[in-house]
Every structure is written in structure tokens, then in C-alpha cells.
């Protein structure tokens, strides 16, 4: 029965169609990540700074435009918007594939495409986050979010392994083409959605001050503020762990693209396990966020100290599991405890912090890796994560209970999921 409950959201037809499309498309996304990282390393002579700059450019648009993107998402039809953004991502993948296949790609080309992709994700990310509650009821939301994460991580398991093999055999170009084609699965699924069965939130009318309104809403929730601070501090180093893995494989263990793919897949296996475990839980709890963050920090320290490639790969499994426990629980907590009309703006702030901090951390991580070695970079990142947990755990646990009760007092009698949300505290 527990295994059946793990996949209970798939009983909803619209979500099932969407989930299948994502399941088929996600490997392509991770294949491109591996191919793009390896292409940058080849073009730059193994530069950690160049790799960090690529990541920074991809996430910088989130840093500067995310709040406005979230406000726009609250005003638009999310399904139609996702069809547009997914199509744009496919076109960008094919464009980079043309340059790589022709042997004309230079580092600045990758920088340009990374920036363009970042601009598209300003709308795509909050739209995808906000679309899930339209497909499933509140009692299924935590499960649906966890299954989305599991699907994404399954792609992260298969995609890097396949990409590492293909890059080693035929180069990066064909991998970009494969990713471009994979977006057709998601686009097709979105077009098959039965719109009359969606739990649509009425679009917010266009008005001045909507971004400020969202900021005031979050500022009035001390629990949300503290969770955002935790995410920001953790993501400064944690969001760039993929770059650190590439540098460890290439510069420390001196292996090839295939070994990088295996290492990335190992972390994804752990993340997939973490997501599936989250899908079994009835509701998110803040202690899972703190435990996941703590174990992630410890894993970073250990990964930076192990002497051999095989041991390094093994450590990446619990690292991935801990990271996904933290991510999935944090995401579900935000989605379940905010007002539906604020969801796009609040989730854009969550994504701004969760993903937009990466541009600030990527060059720092790259510099530390180049100046002191990838091992030192990993260890320092883990120690910083542990320090953040030690400082914020107490205040967050205290604020979480008080602020959620205050929110529920205002919504009592209007929410069908009062008990579920209250127990999330």
C-alpha cells in the first residue's frame, strides 16, 4: 500500500500525461548540461573560472528578473506560457548543436546561449512550479512535487551516463540536438492537457505594485524569510556542486567524459532515492529540510577528502539523497502554505534565491578551485553549509510553528487543507 501511495498523484489524468512528458524530456536536459560543461572545459583548456562564468550567465537573469517573471506568471495562462518557453529552449539547444557540430563553437558562444537560456527560465521555472497545483488537489500536491523531482532525477541518472558516452564517441554537438528534440515530449503533453479539468487560479489583473505586494507578503512571514536565508546560504556553494564534480573528475582524478557522466549519475541516483522517499511522506516537515542540509554539508566535506575516484563516486550518492530531501521538502512547504494568488510571485522569490544565488557562488567556487584545488573548494563549501545549519536551525524551528499558526488563523474555515498545512509545521 505504501508503494501505491508513493505514486498516487498519477491517478489524475492531466498530471499523468504531464509527468510522462517530463519523464521522456528530462534526460535530454541533463545530457545538455554534461555536454555543455565538457564543451566549455575543452574550449577553455580546463578552466574552472570559465565553467563558473557559464553557470553564472545562465542564472544571472533569474537574479535580476525573477520577481517580474513571477508577477507575469500570475497574470498569464500557465499551460500556454509553458508551451512557449519549452519551444524556445528547444530552439536554443539546436542552435548550440549547430555551432558545436560545425566545429565553430567558441567559449563566448556558449556564454551567449547560456544567457539566453537563463532569460527563458525566468518565466519557465515559476510557471512550472505554479502549474502543478492546477493539475492536482492540495492533498496530492506534496506527492506530485516529489514525483516531479523523482522524474527530474531519473533524467539526471540516465542523461549524464548517456551523454558522457556520446560526448566521448561523437562529440557534444549531437547531444545538443537530442536535447532539442526531447522538448517535443513536454510540448506534446501540455497540448494534451484537458483544460476543463484544471484547478485554475483566476489570473491576477495587471496592476501597479504587484512585485512590491509579493515582497510585502513574504516579509510578513518570518518562517518564509528564514527558509529563504537558509536556501541562499546553502545554494551559494551547493548549487555549484556539479561544477565541482567536473573539476574533481577532470583535474584531480584525470579521467574522461565517461567518468564525469558516471559521477554525475551517482549523485542523481541518490537524489532519485531522496525524491521517492519524499513521495511516501504525507506532508513536508521542516526537520527534513534541516536534516537534508546537514547531511549534504557533511557529504561535501567527505567528497573533498576521499583519495580515489571510486570512493568519490560512492560519496555522491548520499550527497544527492540529502540534497533532494532538502529541495523537495522546501519546495512543498512553500507551495502548501502560500495564498494561491501569490503563488507565482512567491515561487519566483523562492527560485530567485534557490537558483539565482548560483551566479554569485559560481565564480567564487571556480576561483577557489583554481587557486587552492577542487578538494579545498568542496571542503570549504561543506563547512559553510554546516555553519549555516547550526546558526539557523533554532530560529527556524521556533518561527515555523508560530507563523504557520498565524496564517492558518487568518484562513481558518476557507482552506480545505487546514489540517494538512498545520501539520507541515
This prediction has a pTM of 0.74
Q: How much of the chain is in helix, strand and coil states, percent to nearest 5?
A: 85, 0, 15
CATH 1.20.1070.10 fits 2-193+211-423, yes or no: no
In this prediction, residue 234 carries a pLDDT of 87
Q: Is 203 strand, coil or helix?
A: coil
Helices (H), 45-137: 48-75, 78-101, 107-135
Query: Taking CA 320 as the corner, what is the angle to CA 314 and CA 321, rounded to the nearest 5 degrees?
Result: 100
C-alpha cell of residue 164: 558522457
pLDDT higher than 70, residue 176: yes
**Average pLDDT of 17-25?**
95
Model pLDDT for residues 97-130, shown as the tens digit of each residue: 999 998 888 999 999 999 999 999 999 988 998 8
C-alpha cell at 48: 574552472
Per-residue pLDDT at 416 exceeds 70: no
CA–CA distance, 218 with 273 (Å, rounded to integer): 31
pLDDT at residue 71 greater than cutoff 90: no
Measuring CA to CA, which residue among 123, 149, 208 is closest to residue 326?
149
d(CA 423, CA 417): 10
Closest by Cα among 276, 275, 274, 247 to 263: 247
Q: Are the C-beta atoms of 198 and 130 separated by less than 8 Å?
A: no
Sign of CA dihedral 386, 331, 24, 99: negative
Q: Give the pLDDT of residue 185.
A: 96
Smallest CA-to-CA distance from 410 within 191, 220, 266, 239 is with 220
- Are 177 and 97 contacting, i.e. CB atoms less than 8 angstroms apart? yes
Categorize the per-residue pLDDT at 423 as very low, low, confident or very high, splitting at 50, 70 and 90. Answer: very low
pLDDT digits (tens, 9 = 90+) for 339-398: 777 878 888 888 888 776 776 787 888 888 888 999 999 999 999 999 999 999 888 888
Sequence spans of domains, the chain: 2-193+211-423
Q: What percent of the chain has pLDDT over 70?
A: 91
pLDDT at 404 over 70: no
Q: Is the pLDDT of residue 191 over 50?
A: yes
CB-based contacts of 195-198 (< 8 A; 24+ apart in sequence):
195/79, 197/13, 197/14, 198/14, 198/79, 198/134, 198/135
pLDDT value of residue 208: 72
Question: What confidence score (pLDDT) does residue 422 get?
Answer: 43
User: Has residue 153 got a pLDDT over 60?
Assistant: yes
Which pLDDT score is estimated for 139?
Answer: 83
132-138 average pLDDT score:
88
**Which tens digits make up the pLDDT trace of 263-319?**
888 887 888 888 888 777 767 788 888 999 999 999 999 999 999 999 999 999 999
Q: 58 falls in which pLDDT band (50, 70, 90)? A: confident
Say what the pLDDT of residue 406 is. 54
Would you place residue 421 in the very low, low, confident or very high pLDDT band (cuts 50, 70, 90)? very low
Q: What is the mean pLDDT of the chain?
A: 84
Q: Is pLDDT at 242 greater than 90 in this prediction?
A: no
pLDDT of residue 335: 80
Please determine, for residue 415, whether its predicted confidence score (pLDDT) is greater than 50: no
What pLDDT sits at residue 418?
38
Amino acid at each position: 500500500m505504501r508503494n501505491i501511495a508513493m505514486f498516487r498523484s498519477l491517478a489524475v489524468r492531466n498530471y499523468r500525461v504531464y509527468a510522462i512528458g517530463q519523464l521522456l524530456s528530462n534526460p535530454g536536459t541533463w545530457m545538455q548540461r554534461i555536454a555543455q560543461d565538457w564543451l566549455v572545459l575543452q574550449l577553455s583548456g580546463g578552466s574552472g573560472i570559465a565553467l563558473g562564468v557559464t553557470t553564472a550567465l545562465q542564472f544571472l537573469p533569474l537574479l535580476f528578473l525573477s520577481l517580474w517573471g513571477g508577477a507575469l506568471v500570475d497574470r498569464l495562462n500557465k499551460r500556454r506560457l509553458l508551451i512557449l518557453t519549452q519551444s524556445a529552449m528547444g530552439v536554443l539547444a539546436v542552435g548550440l548543436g549547430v555551432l558545436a557540430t560545425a566545429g565553430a563553437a567558441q567559449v563566448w558562444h556558449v556564454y551567449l546561449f547560456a544567457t539566453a537560456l537563463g532569460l527563458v527560465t525566468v518565466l519557465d521555472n515559476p510557471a512550472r512550479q505554479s502549474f502543478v497545483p492546477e493539475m492536482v488537489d492540495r492533498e496530492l500536491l506534496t506527492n506530485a512535487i516529489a514525483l516531479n523531482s523523482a522524474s527530474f532525477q531519473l533524467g539526471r541518472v540516465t542523461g549524464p551516463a548517456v551523454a558522457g558516452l556520446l560526448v566521448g564517441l561523437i562529440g557534444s554537438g549531437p547531444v545538443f540536438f537530442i536535447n532539442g528534440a526531447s522538448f517535443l515530449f513536454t510540448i506534446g503533453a501540455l497540448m494534451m492537457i484537458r483544460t476543463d479539468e484544471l484547478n485554475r487560479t483566476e489570473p491576477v489583473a495587471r496592476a501597479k505594485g504587484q512585485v512590491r505586494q509579493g515582497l510585502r507578503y513574504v516579509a510578513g512571514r518570518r518562517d518564509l524569510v528564514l527558509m529563504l536565508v537558509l536556501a541562499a546560504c546553502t545554494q551559494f556553494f551547493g548549487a555549484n556542486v556539479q561544477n565541482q564534480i567536473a573539476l574533481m573528475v577532470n583535474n584531480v582524478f584525470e579521467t574522461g567524459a565517461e567518468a564525469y557522466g558516471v559521477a554525475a549519475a551517482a549523485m542523481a541516483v541518490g537524489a532519485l532515492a531522496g525524491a521517492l522517499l519524499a513521495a511516501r511522506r504525507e506532508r513536508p516537515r521542516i526537520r527534513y529540510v534541516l536534516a537534508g542540509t546537514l547531511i549534504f554539508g557533511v557529504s561535501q566535506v567527505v567528497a573533498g577528502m576521499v583519495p580515489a575516484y571510486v570512493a568519490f563516486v560512492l560519496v555522491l550518492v548520499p550527497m544527492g539523497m540529502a540534497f533532494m530531501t532538502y529541495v523537495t521538502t522546501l519546495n512543498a512547504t512553500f507551495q502548501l502554505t502560500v495564498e494561491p494568488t501569490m503563488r507565482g510571485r512567491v515561487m519566483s522569490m523562492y527560485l530567485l534565491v534557490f537558483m539565482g544565488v548560483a551566479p554569485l557562488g559560481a565564480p567564487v567556487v571556480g576561483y577557489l578551485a583554481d587557486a587552492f584545488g577542487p578538494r579545498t573548494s568542496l571542503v570549504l563549501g561543506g563547512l559553510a553549509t554546516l555553519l549555516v545549519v547550526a546558526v539557523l536551525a533554532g530560529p527556524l524551528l521556533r518561527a515555523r510553528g508560530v507563523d504557520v499558526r498565524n496564517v492558518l488563523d487568518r484562513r481558518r474555515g476557507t482552506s480545505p487543507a487546514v489540517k494538512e498545512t498545520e501539520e507541515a509545521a
